[in-house]
Amino acid sequence: MRDFIWSLSLLFAGISISFAQTNGLEKGTYLSTNKGGKIKLNLLDDNKYELVFYSGGYEIKGDSLVFLKSENTVNNRFDLSFFKDKKAKKVKIKFLNPSYYSFYIGTQKGTEAVQYQRLSDIKTKVDPDYIKIDLDFEIEKTDFLYLVYEDYNGKSDVNKYTLPKDVSEVIIDYDVAIVNDLNLAGSFDKNTKELRISDQAGKDPLVFVNEKDEKPAKTPAVVPIQTESISNWTYPGKDSFQDSYGNTVVDSIYNSLPVDSTAVPAADYSLDPPASYTKYDFKLKIEDNLKKAIESTKTASNKFLVVVVDSKNKSAKEGFNAFVKEQETQTGYNMYDSYNALYDTYNYYLAGADDQKWLKNNKITNDPSVLVLNGNGDVVAAAKSDLTTQQYQFSYYGDLYRKLQRASAFLSIDKVLKNKKTSDADLITAFNKVCSFGSSL
């Protein structure tokens, strides 16, 4: 069974930036004001930059370096504003840009049990198409308000607030700091003057030397007599599906970014639920051309477009239709008895003969292959395989969707930074979009 690898552009490394063309942007240190902690962007001389994702206090104990966690951020994760009106019968809640973090809200009257709701469940009820950035809803009058943030490791911060008797509206902002999960330690080697920093397990430490003690880069003693950069390199007998990196990199951004790869054997995890289960009659809208498919995906805002390339397979259309039917069935069971945009995150399109020019322009040479596009039509990920092999990736319970969101955010800021006509507002918007995923970088 072959191992197939997804390529996702998830980091900034190697991006070529020209800030001089952005009117009004000065050199210096910029702090992110969006969710994700105080990320720093340092614009240096000679059009150089630094992105500092981790910063804070430290202590030196002997030869050990101890990183201090910021308790202030944890204790004040939420920022609440109260508005009062004695005539108000209910309390309006405005939760600012909850994004895709795992939040819960609870209410309590006196000593009664706390009634919790997942914020994402409220979102799908009051804004099923995910049109608004902020979440607006109402709750009954209550004595206490609980706000909970649950991180990816299952740890939750539970915050209890007393609501004023005459409160009419609560505006909630938050700060999900990316350094809370940082669990690093360092040790200094006096002999080599090296500072080694690693997690508590001590595996694969990063080795630092003082900048003033940095040694010149070592010149190789042996150099090749010839060096070439070849796309789709092969040799007689080479299995193109089992190369070292999985698939051909597409779009110019991928040539300068590292690859985040996940290899998973193909498997069919689909189950036919019992007939007694309630299922919403969900139907995917399959467009008849790529342009319409991209436009439909862009309109949805929370979706990605999966493009299937399988022109050499005579039964590709039948296989694609069967896949679509299976996705509709599984999504319908997930939605239960009503439409829920939370489970509707992908559109699908089978590339045809009319799309050959687009494939060529985007350097898509693998056939079969499965591509994922964002609403702007940018290729965010690519897999060198057929659709059946990758079917499990598009399950609601997989983690591909979150990875695609991060990749799309980084791709957006890369395009903004490379555009000489970029405005300050566009740069800030793109940077804040990336910062919103800071906790899972």
For residue 15, give every residue at least 6 positions away whose Cβ sits within 8 Å of its Cβ, in sequence order, or none: 253, 256, 257, 414, 417, 418
How many beta carbons lie within 10 A of that of residue 331, not counting itself? Answer: 23
pLDDT value, residue 429: 67
For residue 393, give every residue at least 6 positions away whose Cβ sits within 8 Å of its Cβ, in sequence order, or none: 6, 383, 400
Burial of 315 (0-12, 13-18, 19+ CB in 10 A): exposed
| Mean pLDDT, rounded, for 27-37 | 66
Q: Above 50 in pLDDT, residue 14?
A: no
CA 2 to CA 296: how far, in whole Å? Answer: 33
Instruction: Identify whether the C-beta of residue 105 lies closer than 8 Å to the C-beta of residue 150.
Output: no
pLDDT value, residue 82: 93
| Mean pLDDT, rounded, for 234-245 | 47
| Mean pLDDT, rounded, for 223-232 | 61
pLDDT value, residue 209: 80
Q: Which of 65-69, 74-78, 372-376 has the lowest mean pLDDT?
A: 74-78
pLDDT value, residue 390: 83
CA 66 to CA 183: how far, in whole Å? Answer: 10
pLDDT value, residue 3: 39
pLDDT value, residue 232: 58
Give the closest residue to 334 by CA, choosing from 271, 264, 266, 405: 271
Confidence of residue 341 (pLDDT cuts 50, 70, 90): confident
- Which of 41-50, 224-233, 311-320, 414-423 has the largest mean confidence? 311-320
Percent of the chain having pLDDT more than 90?
21
How many beta carbons lie within 10 A of that of residue 294, not counting itself? Answer: 22
Q: Which two tokens stand for residue 354?
A: 């009319």
pLDDT value, residue 17: 41
Q: Which of 132-136, 185-189, 225-229 has the lowest mean pLDDT?
A: 225-229
CA distances from 338 to 130, 148, 282, 396 (A): 16, 27, 9, 16
Confidence of residue 161 (pLDDT cuts 50, 70, 90): very high
Could you give the count of Cα atoms lying within 13 Å of 382 in the half-sphere of its Cβ?
24
Instruction: Identify whether the C-beta of residue 408 lies closer than 8 Å to the C-beta of residue 433.
Output: no
Q: Above 70 in pLDDT, residue 32?
A: no
DSSP-assigned letters across all residues of 111-176: TSPPEEEEHHHHHHHH-TT---SSEEEEEE--SEEEEEEE-TTS-EEEEEEEPPTTEEEEEEEE--
**For the chain, what is the mean pLDDT?**
75
Q: What pLDDT digit, counting tens, does each position of 246-282 carry?
A: 333 333 333 333 334 344 444 444 444 444 456 788 8
Q: Which of 14-28, 70-84, 315-329 has the lowest mean pLDDT?
A: 14-28
DSSP-assigned letters across all residues of 222-269: S--S-----TT---TT--GGG-SSSS---TGGGGSS-EEEEEEE----
**How many residues are recorded in the chain?**
441
| Mean pLDDT, rounded, for 6-31 | 53
Tell me if the pTM is above 0.85: no
Burial of 82 (0-12, 13-18, 19+ CB in 10 A): middle
Q: What pLDDT digit, counting tens, does each position of 87-134 carry?
A: 999 999 999 988 756 889 999 999 999 999 989 889 888 888 778 888
pLDDT value, residue 95: 94
CA 101 to CA 86: how far, in whole Å? Answer: 33
